[in-house]
Amino acid sequence: MDYDLTRLGPREFEHLTQALAVKILGTGVSVFGDGRDGGREAAFSGRMRFPEPDPGGPWNGYGVLQAKFRTRPLGTSADTGWFLREVDRELAAWGNPNSSRARHGRLPDYMILATNVVLSSVTGSGGIDRVETEIKKLVAKHRLPLKGWKIWHFEQIRTFLDLHPEIRQTYDAMVTPADVLARLRRSIDTRSIPRASVRFTPGPGGGSLVTDDVSGNMTDRLGLHHSIHSTPMGVSLVGGRPDWLVKPQNVRSDPTRLRIEKLAEARWLRELRTSDECAREVGSRVREQLAGFTHILVLRVAEAPPTLAYQLCEVPRDLLVERIAAANARTFRQVNTGFVGDFSHRNGDWLFRLNLDKPTEKIRVGYALEHAIDHGTWTVTLPSPRTLPDA
């Protein structure tokens, strides 16, 4: 089974690798929470049941797990280079006697480096062999006492998820159609369910991103969901497009704005102290992250029983990037949880607000609905009478 690991985001990818480490290495794995991790998402000590079989036998010593997540993979060659740079940075920190992890931590005997990027398996010249060769050089370069390491790249993680469905099914982005059907069979048995009616209306401007395939996929999912539940579906639109960033939103809170609760996860938010730092870091880091997406979409859910309307709106990425590039120290002000910044349209209208939430390490966006692009609406008429209770 194939999986789109990029849909997890950096934090959930870390959580996924931690869960896999506990499952594969054993319950002796110690998992670390959010915040500064000191070069480790998890640590383990003693005799492991991994790797097995292996000529050298299972690991026996102290080891760490480090996750490296790429928001938008570009292809095996570019991704391999990115991953090696990340590994070099990590190993350099372990090898630097003045770094906090080297001074206050314990140098590992073993290391697992997990990443969502695909590494080519071509013998000799592929990404897997290249990474193995380069890590040997980096270990020598940074004078590390590593006895062994393993790379959990995309294909390896995919295999782990196939073998351990109980972990896969914990994450909505990893749930397969077979998982959904199995859950439905267990929950509804053979009872008859009245079908919800779903109708799609394209946006007024033409040129909608919603193709027939996307419209049909969403129609089927909404029809199935609302044949059982009256509450809105809380999952992202799936259209087979990895370059779409889609966030669901219920409009009851503010019908004039599009809300993106997690435009990005960023540990660097905790380091921000001044408005100058905000402008500098947002101007570089957020723009770089947004460059990885061609479209920023929000699925608005308007409730008016017995109907619901799912409207697909787009926040113009280039306009968002342009206005962020114009940010300066006056743009941001400090609040209890971090900083907020208000941005204006070219015509002077209020356009959007960035909320830099330090405790949760999330960047939130509130965008003026009037300046968004309408790609169309799925109108759902709920079935009546209802035969099953809401979950």
Check whether the bond before 145 is cis (ω within 30° of 0): no
From 153, 168, 183, the end of a domain falls on 168
User: Do 135 and 205 reside in the same domain of the chain?
Assistant: no
8 A C-beta contact, residue 339 and residue 327: no
- In this prediction, residue 390 has a pLDDT band, given cuts at 50, 70 and 90, of very low
Same domain assignment for residues 33 and 144: yes
Residues 163 and 63 occupy one common structural domain:
yes
Does some domain include residue 304?
yes
Q: How far apart are CA 249 and CA 297, in angstroms?
A: 11
Say whether both 224 and 269 belong to one domain: yes
User: 212 with 136, same domain?
Assistant: no
Residue 310: pLDDT above 50?
Answer: yes
Same domain, 375 and 244: yes
Two tokens, residue 174: 């990893």
Q: Tell me the residue type at 128.
A: I
Looking at the structure, tell me whether residues 19 and 118 fall in a common domain.
yes
Task: Give domain status of residue 54, yes or no.
Answer: yes
Average pLDDT value over all residues in the chain: 80
Q: Is residue 183 part of a domain?
A: no
At 201, the amino acid letter reads T
pLDDT band at 120 (very low <50, low <70, confident <90, very high): confident
389 domain-assigned: no
Rounded Cα distance between 107 and 102, Å, is 7
Cβ atoms 86, 68 nearer than 8 A: yes
Tokens coding 134 = 């380069």
324 domain residue, yes or no: yes
**Is residue 68 located within the same domain as residue 16?**
yes
User: What strands lie across the sheet with 307-315, from one edge to the other?
Assistant: 197-202, 373-381, 307-315, 295-304, 244-250
Question: Would you state the pLDDT for residue 387?
Answer: 42
pTM of the model: 0.51
178 to each of 165, 183, 184, 217, 229, how far by Cα in Å? Answer: 11, 9, 10, 16, 20
Does residue 170 have a pLDDT over 80?
no
State the pLDDT at residue 328. 92
Q: What are the pLDDT digits (tens) for 322-379?
A: 999 989 999 999 998 899 999 999 899 999 999 998 888 888 899 999 999 999 999 9
Indicate the DSSP class of residue 210. -
Counted domains in the chain = 2
- Same-domain pairing of 36 and 140: yes
Does some domain include residue 174? no
- 112 has pLDDT over 90: yes
Cα–Cα distance measured from residue 382 to residue 195, given in angstroms and rounded to the nearest whole number:
8
Q: Please report, for the domain that includes residue 164, its CATH number.
A: 3.40.1350
Are residues 155 and 206 located together in one domain of the fold?
no
Cα separation, 20 vs 153, in Å, equals 13
User: Is a pLDDT exceeding 60 seen at residue 240?
Assistant: no
Give residue-wise pLDDT tens across range 249-297: 555 556 788 888 777 777 788 888 999 999 999 988 888 878 767 788 8
Over 60: is that where the pLDDT of 202 sits?
yes
Same domain, 152 and 208: no
Model pLDDT, residue 388: 41
Determine the average pLDDT of the residues in 155-176.
Answer: 76
The pLDDT, as a whole number, for residue 254 is 67
Residue owning tokens 């779409």? 244
Examine residue 211 and state whether it is found in any structural domain, yes or no. yes
The boundaries of the domain holding residue 124 are 5-168
Asked if residue 262 is part of any domain, the answer here is yes
Which of 127, 151, 168 is the last residue in one of the domains?
Answer: 168
Query: Of 6-20, 29-43, 244-258, which gets the smallest average pLDDT?
Result: 244-258
27 and 150 inside one domain: yes
Q: Which residue has the higher pLDDT, 93 or 166?
A: 93
Give the integer Cα–Cα distance in Å for 287 and 273. 20
